[in-house]
Structure 1
Amino acid sequence: MQEKNHTNIATFIHLSTFSRFLIPFGNFLGPLVLWIINKDKSEFIDENGKQALNFQISILIYSLIIGLITIPFFAFSIFNGFDFMNFDLFEGIHFNLSKPSPLFYIGGSLGFLAVIGFILEIVFIIKASIRARDGVIFEYPLSIKFLK
């Protein structure tokens, strides 16, 4: 019975990352609270908690990198249509919607990559939860080991 309790706790540690849809930073707070409270109960819970937190921290870092790379592409594509020499604010601003800048396509591609990453994150969390329920430790792909 103790073993089943540990697998349930480990499963909830992974599933608690979905609390971010209800609570800001819930994807960190949920697993962190569950892991801190239960990490001394078993090595299985401890390892699953570390895996979940490492993955969430890694996803945050990857998202920040993609966001920082994407922002200049969108900014340059938006400001490409402005006429900065004309100080007549409302008549001097021109948007050319028929011919977007190539930078807009690059930024859009990076944004699309972020959406694919979000979908893969959800898939990996569900997969880790199922593995934890079955008593197997799931190692998230591309996860940086912050907690060892």
Structure 2
Amino acid sequence: MMEDGTPIYVNNTQIENVESYIYLGQRYCTRDKNQDKEIQRRITVGWTAFAQHRDIFKGNIGTRLKRQVYNSCVLPAMTYGAETWALTTQAKNKLAVAQAKMERCMLNITYRDRKTNIWVREKTKVTDVIGKVSRRKWTWAGHVSRIRDNRWTLRIIT
């Protein structure tokens, strides 16, 4: 439907008007410019990837293997599309909390064990999710800054 309420037809079929949709694995919303729902969805996808490898993360396997699986399977699922995120402090905290919980699961410890997140990170040595998001954003920015033709990415930014 167009902005004035006029429906759009393609081959005599009315196109459904939606406010949010998933395209190429990323959530887009036509009204809400806030990225919180997409970030929460990415955290959920990260937990799903984590659960798929539960046997590895919960098993008596070395931390090195757990770190490799986390960095190659869970972290990319959580940070897919991060190049376009406008991260707020609240969003960063949500990502960091989710990662800390996953790391504690990898070590089979809980908050009752009274271990700090710094101690947990020293043991797991996984890649920091906030650092990964930041690197992805800077890599994308560098890519766009090197574009010399008239592609849509450069036209949107300028």
TM-score, normalised via structure 2 length: 0.30
Larger radius of gyration: 1
Higher relative contact order (CA 8 A, sep 6+): 1
Name the structure where helix makes up a greater proportion of residues. Answer: 1
Name the structure where strand makes up a greater proportion of residues. Answer: 2
TM-score, normalised via structure 1 length: 0.31
